[in-house]
């Protein structure tokens, strides 16, 4: 091959690969923009819908939306770096879809792929594919953690009232404060609904500003008339990862954010086997001040979505 040809190829590579990296950092459809950070665990850094920011990304480690293996007792703290914070590799990229791959995480025996698909301005599909790269069975659950700004409202439809004392791996318990739970639970509509901005907000598990919920497969966040709904497969409570709730809400006492978290069924993954799990993010502009009308809109939206997807 002639030197001129080689130089042309090198020049082409230098042009194409930076473009691929730039394209992979953003998906856009009309007024919806999804930005993700390849260098910071391939996480979703921000989602903007009609000009409203839906995520908190004011902290390097504790910003944006990430995936962790559950339960946390598998790794303690901090989360496995290869999955949570290390750079990801771009596997494929197009204007509406990007697939990223983590480094191999030997401590967990897992390697993760993240697929982001912006199907339209209302719908972002996020699929996590965890592969067992070890020589033994790996037991874990999928766990998505999305940080949203304080100041909005949280709504979760309760499948069964999940407010018993929760056993932890260290044989201790999270004890429920029933009085605090009843302040945020509407038994008529079987819904948990509270404003994150309330200064006196205390979630009902003693010693933990956290809430564990057995849901109907969705959790919603409302801010500035923008409704952000996360939809997952509704699993029986008994199949969820031990010591976890299907939906969990954590209010940070330090940062201006709240973690909206979902869990999958517990997985038992054989060597070289892959487990995939999808979370669908739905976004709408609403102007409904009545709580029951808002709940009706959410439930109808989720029902229609599940019927066609």
> In which band, very low, low, confident or very high, does the pLDDT at 243 lie, cut at 50, 70 and 90?
confident
CATH code for the domain of 74: 2.70.98.10
Report the residue count for the chain: 309
> Which tokens hold the place of 18?
């930076």
Does the predicted TM-score (pTM) go above 0.85?
Answer: yes
Which residues have C-beta within 8 Å of that of residue 105, sequence separation ≥ 6?
A: 80, 82, 83, 111, 112, 133
Mean pLDDT estimate for the chain: 87
- 80-97 pLDDT, tens digit per residue, is 999 999 999 999 999 899
Share above pLDDT 90 across residues of the chain, in percent, rounded to a whole number: 67
- Phi then psi for residue 243, to 5 deg, are 70, 15
**Do 219 and 260 contact (CB within 8 A), yes or no?**
yes
pLDDT tens, residue by residue, 181-230: 788 889 899 998 988 865 556 676 656 678 888 899 999 999 999 999 99
**Residue 12 — pLDDT band, cuts 50, 70, 90?**
very low
> Which residue spans within 163-231 are E strands per DSSP?
166-167, 173-174, 185-186, 191-195, 210-223, 226-231
Say whether pLDDT at 54 is over 80. yes
pLDDT at 174: 55
Containing structural domain, residue 260? 3-308
How many domains in the chain? 1
In which residue are the tokens 């929760």 written? Answer: 166
Per-residue pLDDT reduced to its tens digit, 250-298:
888 889 999 999 999 999 999 999 999 999 999 999 998 888 999 999 9
The pLDDT of residue 206 is 55
Nearest-angstrom CA–CA distance, 65 and 261: 9
């Amino acid at each position: 091959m002639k030197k001129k040809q080689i130089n042309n190829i090198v020049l082409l590579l230098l042009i194409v690969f930076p473009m691929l990296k730039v394209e992979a950092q953003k998906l856009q459809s009309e007024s919806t923009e999804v930005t993700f950070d390849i260098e910071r665990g391939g996480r979703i850094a921000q989602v903007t819908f009609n000009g409203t920011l839906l995520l908190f990304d004011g902290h390097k480690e504790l910003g944006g939306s990430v995936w962790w293996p559950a339960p946390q007792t598998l790794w303690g703290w901090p989360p496995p770096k290869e999955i949570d914070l290390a750079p990801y590799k771009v596997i494929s990229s197009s204007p509406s879809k990007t697939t990223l791959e983590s480094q191999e995480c030997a401590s967990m025996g897992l390697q993760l792929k993240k697929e982001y698909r912006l199907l339209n301005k209302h719908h972002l599909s996020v699929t996590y594919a965890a592969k067992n790269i070890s020589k033994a069975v790996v037991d874990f659950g999928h766990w998505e953690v999305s940080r949203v700004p304080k100041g909005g409202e949280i709504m979760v439809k309760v499948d069964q009232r999940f407010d018993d004392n929760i056993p932890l791996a260290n044989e201790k318990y999270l004890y429920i404060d029933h009085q605090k739970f009843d302040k945020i639970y509407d038994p008529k509509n079987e819904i948990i609904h509270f404003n994150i901005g309330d200064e006196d907000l205390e979630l009902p598990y003693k010693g933990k500003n956290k809430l564990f919920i057995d849901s109907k497969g969705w959790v919603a966040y409302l801010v500035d008339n923008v409704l952000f709904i996360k939809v997952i497969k509704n699993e029986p409570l008994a199949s969820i990862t031990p010591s976890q709730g299907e939906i969990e809400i954590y209010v940070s006492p330090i940062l201006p954010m709240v973690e909206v978290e979902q869990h999958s069924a517990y997985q038992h993954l054989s060597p070289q086997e892959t487990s995939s799990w999808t979370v669908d993010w739905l976004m709408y502009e609403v102007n409904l001040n009545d709580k029951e009308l808002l709940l009706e809109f959410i439930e109808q939206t989720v029902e229609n979505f599940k019927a066609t997807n």
